[in-house]
Structures are given as C-alpha cells and as structure tokens.
Structure 1
C-alpha cells in the first residue's frame, strides 16, 4: 500500500468515527428526551453532553476537510 493509500484509509476511518458519533449522539439524545420528564435538571446534562459531542464532530470534520485540501498531500 502506498503512503497516499494509508493516509486515505486513515481519513476514511476518522470520517466513519465522526459519522458514528453524530448518529449515536442524535439517537441517545432523542431517547433521553423521551425518557426524562420535561423540566428535569438531568436534561441539562444530556443537552450539554450532546452539544459537546456535536462540537467534537464539527472540529473533527473540519480537520478532515483541511487535510484533504492541502496541496501536495502535506
């Protein structure tokens, strides 16, 4: 496997991880909305955790995009 192929595989794995985090976060947050009563303070914890996961996914996606747009693969 060439170096570019290895780099591409790493980018694919990282993109897959981002996709899994986004999907799992959305599903878990929806389940938490369904299980926890409105106005419960525990809901704030679920909301903050979901925001943190989505922020991480945004930053990771931005990093992947930056790596793919660099000239000469640097």
Structure 2
C-alpha cells in the first residue's frame, strides 16, 4: 500500500475542517433557535443566527467544491 501524498493529507484536513464547521453550525443553529424561542428573543436575533449558519454552510460548500476540484487533477 502506498503512503498518501502531502497534498492528499492537506485535502483530508480541509475536508475534516469543513465537516466539523458544518456540524457545529447545525448544532449551534438548532440550539440557538430553541433558546431564542424559550427566552423570547426578537426576530432580528433569529435572523442573525440564520445568516451566521448560512455563512458557515456557504463556506463549507465552497471548501468542499474546492477539494473536489483539486482532487480531480
């Protein structure tokens, strides 16, 4: 069995980071939405949480697409 190249290891680290960011984003989003509902937060704070989660998902999608594109070389 051959040893993975340094580029493969770097892409694997990026993929793990993207997955972790997306997983933390969904857990934080659900938790903060629940907490905001229980504490009666204003709707603008719910939208702030939504936009932060969307930003995390967009970042994860961009990183994942970049990994996919680089792996195809």
Smaller-chain TM-score range? 0.7 to 0.9
- Deviation per CA, 1:14-66: give whole Å up to 9, x if none: 00000100100000000011100276321010000000000000000000000
1:24 pairs with 2:27: no
Where does the alignment leave 5 or more consecutive residues of structure 1 unmatched?
A: none
Higher relative contact order (CA 8 A, sep 6+): 2
Q: How many residue pairs align between the two structures? A: 67
TM-score by length of 1: 0.84
Equivalent position of 1:40 in the other structure: 43
Name the Cα RMSD after superposition. Answer: 1.4
Q: Distance in 2 between matches of 1:8 and 1:69?
A: 12
Where does the alignment leave 5 or more consecutive residues of structure 2 unmatched?
A: none
